[in-house]
């Protein structure tokens, strides 16, 4: 029987791999360009790295990235009124594309290692200190992390023209879909 940790790991792995495969071919201009949402692929990748780092740190007490990285990619402060551009906060010089891809990989691996060490008997225990009030239990932290990259795959699929009409950010691509049990002769 599949365990809850295996489900979470599979979701994090599938979404992360889909995201990396879709974003690696982007040139720098497209990678850093602001989309209709105010995000960019660069900001999204850094944000996902930041959140994986932050969420796992609540369990292992260790952050991979410094305060400035977390400020740029996961600033949770209340913004001034008016349009907010997350894309504009990501400097190509300070956050090169290769650095963001490596950081994302490192943060996801750290989160998965932390999940491996997590005792599922504590799944329904109160969330660790630092977790937002909406994450009531330790397990809810892992559940949210499992869904997080999926949300951003959808956001990028709907805001970047490159992905319109493709399955590039679809977690279950189905170019060759056939209903189970069907036979074609």
Domain annotation covers residue 126:
yes
> What pLDDT score was predicted for residue 181?
74
The pLDDT tens digits of the residues spanning 166-183 come to 888 887 777 787 887 766
**Each residue's pLDDT tens digit, 117-165:** 999 999 999 999 999 999 999 999 999 999 999 999 999 999 999 999 8
Can you give the residue range of the structural domain that contains 86? 4-163
**Would you say 120 and 5 are in contact if contact means Cβ atoms under 8 Å apart?**
yes
Q: Locate 131 and state its tokens.
A: 């977790």
pLDDT of 51-105, one tens digit each? 999 999 999 999 999 999 999 998 765 455 555 678 888 999 999 999 999 999 9
Q: Which residue shows structure tokens 């209709």?
A: 36
Q: State the pLDDT at residue 142.
A: 98
- Number of independent structural domains in the chain: 1
The CATH number covering residue 147 comes to 1.20.120.450
Among 78, 98, 100, smallest CA distance to 90 is for 100
Half-sphere exposure of 63 (CA within 13 A, CB side): 10
In a domain, 153, yes or no: yes
pLDDT of residue 81: 53
Comparing CA positions, the residue from 134, 142, 118 lying closest to residue 51 is: 142
- List pLDDT tens digits, range 22-52: 999 999 999 999 998 889 999 999 999 999 9
Domain membership flag for residue 181: no
- 67 within some domain: yes
Lookup: tokens for 151: 């949300």
Distances 170 to 86, 112, 146, 177 between C-alpha atoms, Å: 23, 22, 15, 13
In DSSP terms, which residues pair with 126 in a beta bridge?
A: 137
Is 170 contained in some domain? no
Residue 89, domain member (yes or no): yes
CB–CB of 11/66 below 8 Å? no
- What's the pLDDT score for residue 177? 79
Q: Is residue 106 part of a domain?
A: yes
How wide is the angle at C-alpha 91 spanned by C-alphas 87 and 93, nearest 5°? 155
137 domain residue, yes or no: yes
């Amino acid at each position: 029987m599949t365990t809850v940790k295996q489900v979470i790991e599979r979701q994090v792995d599938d979404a992360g791999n889909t995201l990396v495969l879709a974003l690696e071919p982007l040139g720098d201009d497209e990678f850093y360009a602001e989309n209709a949402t105010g995000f960019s692929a660069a900001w999204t990748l850094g944000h996902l790295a930041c959140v994986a780092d932050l969420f796992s740190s609540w369990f292992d007490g260790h952050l991979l990235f410094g305060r400035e990285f977390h400020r740029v990619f996961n600033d949770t402060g209340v913004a001034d009124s008016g349009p907010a551009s997350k894309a504009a906060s990501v400097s190509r010089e300070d956050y090169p594309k290769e650095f963001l891809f490596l950081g994302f990989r490192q943060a996801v691996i750290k989160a998965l290692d932390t999940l491996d060490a997590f005792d599922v008997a504590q799944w329904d225990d109160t969330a660790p200190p630092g977790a937002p009030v909406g994450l009531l239990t330790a397990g809810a932290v892992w559940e949210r992390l499992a869904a997080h990259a999926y949300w951003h795959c959808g956001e990028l699929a709907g805001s970047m023209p490159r992905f319109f009409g493709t399955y590039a950010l679809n977690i279950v691509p189905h170019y060759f879909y056939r209903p189970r049990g069907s036979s074609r002769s």
